[in-house]
Amino acid sequence: MCGRMAITLPHEAVVEMFGAVPANDLPDTPNYNVCPTVNVPVVTSDDGVRRLRPMRWGFIPHWYKKPNGGPLLINARAETIAEKPAFRAACRERRCLLPVTGFYEWYRDGDAKPLPWFIQRQDGEPLVMAGIWQDWEQDGAVISTCAIVTTGANEAMARIHHRIPVILTAEDWPLWLGEAGKGASKIMKSAPEDALLFHRVGTEVNSNRAAGATLLDPIA
């Protein structure tokens, strides 16, 4: 599961990291509280040319009559992505990468108030999540949309939540983007146990209106 994230990377750094051509209308960064339905910077590959583009986080199936015409699809399960009508074509033809600083997850213990955690890479490098995308069109309006691919949590993540985004290393990027042939299904797996760093953050992030770098500050 991934329902909130932080994106603090300058676009110039992302462009250099992926060798991508940037769009002119990328969303502002840093954003320490990225919520569903907002635009996020996404890396795609078109005929071998990587592009950094803005996309709405919240995949819109082609049969929706309006953007909110059905459930909000921010995640796609790796186990069923190839069969689900909403996702199967995108899984084959339109895969993307979402480079972020990290993501938030909430630990729920019975009826107690959910407690937010921030998850990032252990080595401090950008965390690159697997995604799928498609353009949704209605009455001449086109919205580029995306969803994050998730899988079963590794043991470390399972202490907080049973799902985790599919996190890809640089070696995996060409295969996921379709630049290195077929076989992307084999990299839809959980991150190694030692790959991620977890820390508790304040409940301020429970509000989608919260902002600022202090949202990432660890608490005891």
Of 16, 35, 93, 105, which is the active-site residue?
105
Q: If we measure between CA atoms, which residue out of 120, 129, 125 comes closest to residue 199?
A: 120
Question: Which residues, at least 6 apart from 47, have a Cβ–Cβ distance to it below 8 Å?
Answer: none
2 carries an active-site annotation:
yes
105 carries an active-site annotation:
yes
DSSP-assigned letters across all residues of 79-114: TTTTT-TTTHHHHHH-EEEEEESEEEEEE--TTSPP
Q: What is the DSSP letter of 176?
A: H
Map residue 145 onto helix, strand or coil: strand
Map residue 204 onto helix, strand or coil: helix
Question: Could you give the CA distance from residue 106 to residue 207 in angstroms, rounded to a whole number?
Answer: 13
Distance of CA 8 to the CA centre of its chain: 14
Question: Could you give the CA distance from residue 204 to residue 187 in angstroms, rounded to a whole number?
Answer: 35
Return the ∠ at Cα 136 (arms to 180 and 166), rounded to 5°. 40
Instruction: Please confirm whether the linkage preceding 36 is cis (ω < 30° from 0).
Output: no
Residues catalogued as catalytic: 2, 105
